[in-house]
Every structure is written in structure tokens, then in C-alpha cells.
Amino acid sequence: MLDSDLKNAKILLVDDQQANIEVLKDFFEIQKYTNILTTTDSRTVCNLYLEFQPDMILLDLHMPHVSGFDILEQLKQIIPATTYLPILVLTADITVETKRKALQNGASDFLSKPFDFIELQARVNTHLLIKLRNEQIKHYSDELEMQIAIKDKFFSIIAHDVRNPFIGIKNYIDILLKIKNFSPTEVEENLLVIRSSANRGHELLENLLKWSKSQTGIMTINKFRYQLKQLTDNSISFAQVQAANKNIKIISAINEHIFVDTDSDVLDTILRNLLSNAIKFTPISGTITVAATKKGGFANVSVSDTGNGIEEYKMEKLFRIDSHLQAGIGTEGESGSGLGLILCKEFIDKLDGEIWVESELGKGSTFIFTLPLAL
């Protein structure tokens, strides 16, 4: 931690004696610490912790209303188990029993009153450095877990979802080669199945390629001013063939006067995936509606279907690579990898937007994402 990081650390001072508070506050101000909060009322400590989120607490033990021991117990109930919060106890009571009880209740260290300012600064800096190292380790651990989840997802898709369309293509081609007396209609039906499998395989490989570019950092975003309706109409046209196979109607309800600041290729990938997902979970002769409204400095773009809806517990996991959520089966038995929605989330983040889903079982789903409006 740099010296400037130390000086910006948030420190909460708790002592029922205002004179003690003033001495500590003057010391930290002389040492150029900039985020100091104080209280002489021990009843406010837990609320102050939640509001201020300190990096360290300096705590007196013997106070009226709520003792330092009780505060330590209360803080244990609200501080997350993964959070390291150093609590330096400042007390004139230096008995072994007092130290034992405070350490058992969650104190990190002791400093006896009256204290030496050089020792105080050394202990404060030491515990702030330990906190930083803990946060760095947690950050690296979270990143590693995410990378493992990405690797597992990638190999899972390679092993199952990429393989399946090509197995289907191979099997149908073998059938066509072996059987010589197919009628023209039967040949056409088999070719349509082969084309459908090829399209699924191609779509998945395209998503994998774009996803890998996103993960490796070689993907570039080129944002320009576009008419939203023109971009959405292009994506809808591409999805019409897939929708026609289930007699699904796609309705465009985008106002011509909405302009967005976006990357057209990235937005096209997002819309194609959302439309493909909607088609998959919409029954035959259903309806999909693409609409948009202005809100603040953003366009809220929605893709709504008349499908069966999504269970609430699944909605929070749809966009997470580490959720291990199984991809659902479509209304006509369509399979999927779940990669499309994850890709949508990553790409919308790159476009400075957000995405979420609203759904009710039996009444369909609406995927909504935001795009910055163009001036």
C-alpha cells in the first residue's frame, strides 16, 4: 500500500471521552490522514460501520450505554465473514482477563493508554497493510475462480454443444448416402434438418469466437451515432427465418427518432442472441415484440416473448458464467449452451449499458437492456 493509500484509509474513532477523541483526531490530522470519523456515543457504532464502511476501528472498551466488548460482539454479526476489519483496542485496563476477552470477541490488537504515538502509528499502518493484502488476495482469488468458471464453461460447450450439431449433420448425410429411393420431398426434409443443424453449429461457433475475443482483450469497440430502428430491423430480418419455422411473428415497435451511441456489430450480436433465445422459448404461432423507450440518457430496449416464462431463482443466474445453470430446452425440444445470454451481458457492459429480465411463469419473458442515447 502506498503512503497515499494509507492516508486515505477510513478510520472510525470510538471513545466516550471527548478529550481522548480530540487527541486521536489531532494526531491523525497531523499525520495527514484524510478520512476520520469519530463518535463518543457507543450506541451509534454499528450504524456508523454500515454507513461509513471503515477500514479500521480504534475502540475504547469501558464506555457507558454499550461497552466495547458488546460492540465487538455486535460487529461480528454484521461484518461479512470474508471481510477483514482490524479493530485496535485502546484502553487503560491492561489486565490479562481484559485482553483475553477482547481478543475472543474480535479485537485485532491492543494499545494501552496512555499510548506512545510512534507505536500507535506503527500499529495502525501495520493493520492497514494487512487489510490491503487480504483484499488483494480476495481479489485475485475471485479472479481465479472466474477464470476457472470460464474455462469450465468453454470446455463444456466444446465437449457437448459444438459436437452435437455436427453429429446430427453427419448422421443425416449418412442416411442420404445409404438410402437410394428417397423421394424429392424426403430429400428436401433431410436437407432442411442438416441446414438447421449447420446453422446451430455456426451460430455457436460465432458466439464462441466473439466470446474468446472478449475474454482475451483483442475485441475493439467502435461506437458511433445510429438510428436504433435501422439496427434492430436488420437483426430482426436475420431472425425471421428461424422464427418462420415455428410460425412466430416478430413485431418491431421502435420509434424512428431514437438514436443511440453504440457499436453496430456488437449490438447486432446482442439482438440476434436475444431474438434467438426468445424464438427458442416461444411456442408455435407465438409473438415476439422488440420495443424501446427513452429514460434519462439511455434507450431501454426490450425483447418480449409469449413463452412460458422463467422461474425466479433462475433469473438471477442467467447472465453469470459461474452459475452452473443448465440451459433450458425450447418449446420444440431446441437445445442450447447458455452462452448467448452470458455473451449479451458482457457485450452490453462494453457498450456502457445494463441488462436484466422480467418474467412471470405462464406469461412470457422480457429481456431489457440499456444503450446510451446519441446527442
For 306-328, what is each residue's pLDDT tens digit? 998 888 888 878 887 665 555 66
Helices 264-281 and 339-350, interaxial angle, to 10°?
Answer: 150
**Residue 214: its pLDDT value, please?**
67
> ω before 114 within 30° of 0 (cis)?
yes
**Residue 84: its pLDDT value, please?**
85
Dig out the grid coordinates for 25 from the structure: 483526531
Q: Cα(first)–Cα(last) distance of the chain, in Å?
A: 42
Dig out the grid coordinates for 32 from the structure: 495527514
Average pLDDT over residues 136-143: 81
Which of 319, 360, 374, 4 lies closest to 149 in space, CA to CA?
319
User: Is the pTM for the entire model greater than 0.75?
Assistant: no
Distance CA 129, CA 56 (A): 11
With vertex at residue 351, the alpha carbon angle to CA 314 and CA 310, rounded to the nearest 5 degrees, is 15
Dig out the grid coordinates for 109 from the structure: 490488537
Indicate the pLDDT class of residue 4, thresholds 50, 70 and 90. low
Average pLDDT over residues 242-269: 91
Give 206's contacts (C-beta < 8 A, 6+ positions apart): none
The winner for highest mean pLDDT among 154-163, 173-182, 341-350, 352-361 is 352-361
Beta carbons within 10 angstroms of residue 196's beta carbon: 17
Indicate the pLDDT class of residue 133, thresholds 50, 70 and 90. confident
**Residue 173: its pLDDT value, please?**
82
Write a three-state SS string for 6-54.
HHHCEEEEECCCHHHHHHHHHHHHHCCCCEEEEECCHHHHHHHHHHHCC
Residue with the larger pLDDT of the pair 224 and 207: 224
Q: Where are the domains of the chain?
A: 3-139, 162-218, 220-375
DSSP 8-state secondary structure symbol assigned to residue 328: P
**Residue 250: its pLDDT value, please?**
95
Mean pLDDT of the chain: 83
234: helix, coil or strand? Answer: helix
CB 353 within 8 A of CB 298: yes
DSSP 8-state secondary structure symbol assigned to residue 316: T
Q: What is the pLDDT of residues 12-69, one digit of tens each?
A: 999 988 988 998 888 888 888 888 999 999 999 999 999 999 989 999 888 889 988 8
Average pLDDT over residues 363-367: 92
DSSP 8-state secondary structure symbol assigned to residue 373: B
**Residue 1: its pLDDT value, please?**
46
CB 133 within 8 A of CB 113: no
Share of the chain above pLDDT 70, in %: 85
Average pLDDT over residues 241-253: 90
For the cut 80, the answer to whether the pLDDT of residue 204 exceeds it is: no
**Residue 226: its pLDDT value, please?**
95
User: Hey, what CATH topology would domain 220-375 get?
Assistant: Heat Shock Protein 90 (3.30.565)
Indicate the pLDDT class of residue 254, thresholds 50, 70 and 90. very high
CA distances (Å), origin 37, targets 64, 261, 262: 20, 42, 43
Indicate the pLDDT class of residue 2, thresholds 50, 70 and 90. low
179: helix, coil or strand? Answer: coil
CB 48 within 8 A of CB 37: yes
**Residue 229: its pLDDT value, please?**
95
CATH 3.40.50.2300 corresponds to the domain 3-139: yes
290: helix, coil or strand? Answer: strand
